[in-house]
Chain A
């Protein structure tokens, strides 16, 4: 395996990680029947909170915690509007994205042009020493491993636990779930807050580990791509993971093409547009098959529920 290919794979994993985290969070939210399109806003606020707290305390751990709390705070606003007050979920999600980006842009002004010290990757003992595989998979920032643990946890939770079954049941038919005695609104609140925490965590990965700096436009559509990934994955966690890394790969491809020294006369803007065009392409391919979508999407997705 050539060093270039190894480098591409490592970079793919890194650039796919925020997508993995945010999209898995959104997956759980949507499994419970709630469509929160505010990921972009929650990621932005999470990125800022993570950056600011890490900047002032010097503790990345506290920054991560702050980012998750910030994401949860925003998702709580969404939950109150969409779940308690039964407002239109699409409109609330959009509002959350607009408000989140506005808030982050405003509060983040003093932090523009600042940067954090680079955090060294955390090699996993023994595993990191395996040739090639160790370099590609076990020589990462801590949140990369966290994202894998998150994937395993979401898999087990959704498909192997009673609570996960309940979440899925509520996403399919909240009225039936209510009839057997579960508290639909409370569980949807919990799922929404979890999604918010994950969006915040994804934002923290961007601002503390990935860049590491704060810029108003740093999320640049990743939250929306994460929302698209859930559709692309037809609400299945394993496909979310694969999809996130595919998009991670597309996102860093341009850097390698630009850095490779190949004489390609493609404008850099075209390469930068690739992830967005790829999202559209994938949505078209997946959505075309209405039966697959109908079969896998939670039946009550985006529909308000009123217990009575």
Chain B
């Protein structure tokens, strides 16, 4: 008989081993799934998990896809730490992309990166404005932020669809739902010639460090960590729970908005109704698997990006659909939640 026994204190090693075990289990299950789909399991494994690392171009693509995941995962982790469940990052990403687009199509480009800074700020403000709605409704009306932020994803999606179909539609775009291509001054420079990854990638890494310092070494960060561990303790200490709700949601909104800006001013180059590809939801997995910790989020976002890229590789070389990546990401998340039981519990073999 296998039984669970409560540990005296949560295992610090297991906090980090759990994602590793979950990933290992995913790697074991992966060939089985390819076999079930009638493909050579080892070939499937190699194409899905190894191809993303096989060339400079693929590594660049991985960094490109990891950028929004890292930004959003970082923003969400601040809220998740104090039990503010912002599930609507996808909507905040869209709002940020729309706000940044407004800058790009309304102003003439300015030199010295001023235009890009304006776009980035607009993106963050747009994302924060969208996140402010659930923050306000939660703090003033006690409305569940999970459901409100999620409903706003659909609203943002419809809003972007309206913008690109009606007021912002490119008149010379053959009626496609898209804006004009942004002028060069509104496009992010790439890090390496021939690759698409932009300078937002290192910026995201720096922001991870900034967030770490904020959570670890600032008074507000301390308040938020206390609120996450025990709401009663936070209230007893006189910490404002409203403040943690606002900071938690707005940091997620700002980072998601910046990610939206980085997407339209980077690989896409215009606003279309197809920019919502689920980064906001995948970033939830990144935050969980990264243990809400900056190094974890860095690695988690690269891993999830590798999965997405693996999906594209599988589509290209094995003729399977790329959405297999989403299935694997979901599987990994479920396995992770299962492995997390080992943090608080020990497995004991009982002789019956």
Contacts and interface: CB of A to CB of B under 8 A. Distances in A.
Interface residues of B, number: 43
Contacts of A187: none
A228 B143 CA distance: 10
B352 interface: no
B105 interface: no
Contact of B329 (A98, A109, A224, A284): A98
B265 interface: no
B153 to A, nearest CB: 8
Given A81-B338, A98-B330, A106-B323, A276 B151 contact: yes
Interface in A54-95: 77, 80-81, 85-88, 90-92, 94-95
B87 interface: yes
Interface stretch (A118-126, A255-263, A287-295): A287-295
Interface in B249-282: 281
A269 B159 contact: yes
A279 B162 contact: no
B83 to A, nearest CB: 9
Q: Which secondary structure dominates chain B's binding surface?
A: helix
Q: Which secondary structure dominates chain A's binding surface?
A: helix
B137 interface: yes
Contact of A99 (B155, B165, B330): B330
Interface string B330-341: 110110011011
A19 interface: no
A288 B136 CA distance: 12
Nearest to A92: B337
Contacts of A203: none
A266 B302 CA distance: 43
A277 interface: yes
Nearest to B145: A283
Contacts of A109: 321, 323
Nearest to B282: A98
Nearest to B33: A106
Contact of A37 (B146, B166, B321, B337): B146
A95 B143 contact: no
A106 B327 contact: yes
Interface in B131-152: 133, 137, 141-144, 146-148, 150-152
B330 A100 contact: yes
B288 to A, nearest CB: 7
A267 interface: yes
Interface in A276-307: 276-277, 279-280, 283-284, 287-288, 290, 293
A196 to B, nearest CB: 15
Contacts of B344: 86
Interface string A207-250: 00000000010001100110110010000000000000000000
Contacts of B144: 228, 231, 283, 287
Contact of A267 (B162, B284, B285): B162
A88 B83 CA distance: 11
Contacts of B152: 276, 280
B146 A102 contact: no
B143 A276 contact: no
B151 A103 contact: no
A101 interface: yes
B137 to A, nearest CB: 5
A102 B334 contact: no
Nearest to B6: A306
B283 to A, nearest CB: 11
A252 B352 CA distance: 59
B141 A94 contact: no
A288 B158 contact: no
Contact of B147 (A96, A224, A272): A224
Given A81-B334, A231-B144, A284-B141, A269 B341 contact: no
Contacts of B340: 85, 87
B326 interface: yes
B326 A94 contact: no
16 contacts: A77-B334, A81-B334, A81-B337, A85-B341, A95-B334, A99-B331, A101-B330, A102-B323, A102-B329, A105-B327, A267-B162, A269-B159, A272-B158, A276-B152, A280-B148, A283-B148
Given A85-B338, A103-B327, A273-B155, 8 more contacts: A85-B340, A98-B284, A102-B328, A103-B326, A269-B161, A279-B147, A280-B148, A293-B142
Interface of A: 37, 77, 80-81, 85-88, 90-92, 94-96, 98-103, 105-107, 109, 216, 220-221, 224-225, 227-228, 231, 267, 269-270, 272-273, 276-277, 279-280, 283-284, 287-288, 290, 293
Interface of B: 85, 87, 133, 137, 141-144, 146-148, 150-152, 154-155, 158-159, 161-162, 165-166, 281, 284-285, 288, 321, 323-324, 326-331, 333-334, 337-338, 340-341, 344-345
